[in-house]
Amino acid sequence: MRNRFSYFLELVVLVPVFPILYIIGTKLKNNLVKLPPRSEFLKLESSNPGSCLLIIGESTAAGVGATSTERTFASHIFKNLKEQFTIINIGENGLKAENLQSLFRKSENEMPRNFSKTIILIGANDCFRFTPPGKFRTEIESFIHYLVLEINVEKITIPLIPPVQMFPGIPKIMRFFLGWQRGILTRELEKLEKKLPHLSFENHGGKFAGEFFSEDGIHPSDMGYEQIAAFIATTIEVKSDQIH
C-alpha cells in the first residue's frame, strides 16, 4: 500500500512538469551517443556442459557500452566463475520486465532445455517508462515461475536496478524522478525476494564514479561491467557453497 501511494504521489508531482521533461527527453534521445550492443546473443561454452547459466535482460545484458564482446557482463561472469558454467546470454536494448518471457522464447530453440542458474538484468527501462509497481512485480514473478517450472532453474539472481538517478548523461530534473521510480521498483523486488525462495535480489550499494559509465553517460563502461560481474559472481559462488 505504501509503495502504491508513493507511485501515485510521484505521478501527481510528475504531471505538471511532464511537458518540460518530454522536451528534455526528446532532445536527449536525439543527441545521445548511439553505442552498439556487443552481446545480444552470446554462447560461452564450458568444459562442463551439464551446468548452464542463463543471463537475460535489457541493455546491460546486450553489452551496450562495452568495447568488445570480451568486455561484456557475460564474458566477465564466465571468467569470474572459472568457466564452470556454459553461459547463454540474451539481451535487448530497451527491454522491460513484461517482455522477458517473449525475449527468451525467441531464442528457445538455440538453447539447452535446462539451466541451473539465471541472472536477470532488468529495471532501468521500467524506470524510464514509469511502470506501475504492481505490474512490474507481477511480470517479474511470472517470469520467475516460468523459469522454475518450465526450465528447471534452481536459483535466480537479480542484481540491483541500474542507478538511473546517477546517470551523468541525464539532466538532474529527470534523474530526480528516475531515482524516485527506482526506489519504488526496488522495494517491489525486495518484497518478491522474501516471497520466492528461488530468488536472490542483490541490491548492493556502492559508488559509481565517472569511469563506471561509458561515453553516453548511461550504460556501463568496460570497467563498469567488470565491477558488476565481479560482485555478482562472488554472490553466486558464496550461495552455491552454502547450498552444498
Query: For the chain, which ranges sit under pLDDT 50?
Result: 241, 243-244
What φ, ψ does residue 240 adopt, rounded to 5°?
-65, -40
Residue 66: give its domain's CATH number: 3.40.50.1110
Q: Is 82 helix (H, G, I), strand (E, B) or coil?
A: coil
CB 49 within 8 A of CB 85: no
What's the pLDDT at 242?
A: 52
Q: Decide: residue 25, CB within 10 A, 0-12 exposed, 13-18 middle, 19+ buried.
A: middle
Q: Where are the alpha helices (DSSP H) in 32-164?
A: 59-62, 73-80, 100-106, 124-128, 133-150
pLDDT of residue 239: 58
Q: What is the pTM of this model?
A: 0.94
pLDDT at position 244, please?
44
Query: How many whole angstroms separate alpha carbon 164 and alpha carbon 176?
Result: 9
Provide DSSP, 171-192: -HHHHHHHHHHHHHHHHHHHHH
Pairwise CA distance, residues 190 & 197, whole Å: 12
Residue 60 belongs to what domain range? Answer: 2-243
Q: How far apart are CA 25 and CA 38, in angstroms?
A: 25
The confidence score (pLDDT) of residue 206 equals 67
- Residue 243's pLDDT is 47
Domains held by the chain: number: 1
What local confidence, expressed as pLDDT, does residue 205 receive?
A: 67
Closest CA to 35 of 93, 77, 75: 93
Alpha helices in 41-113 (DSSP H): 59-62, 73-80, 100-106
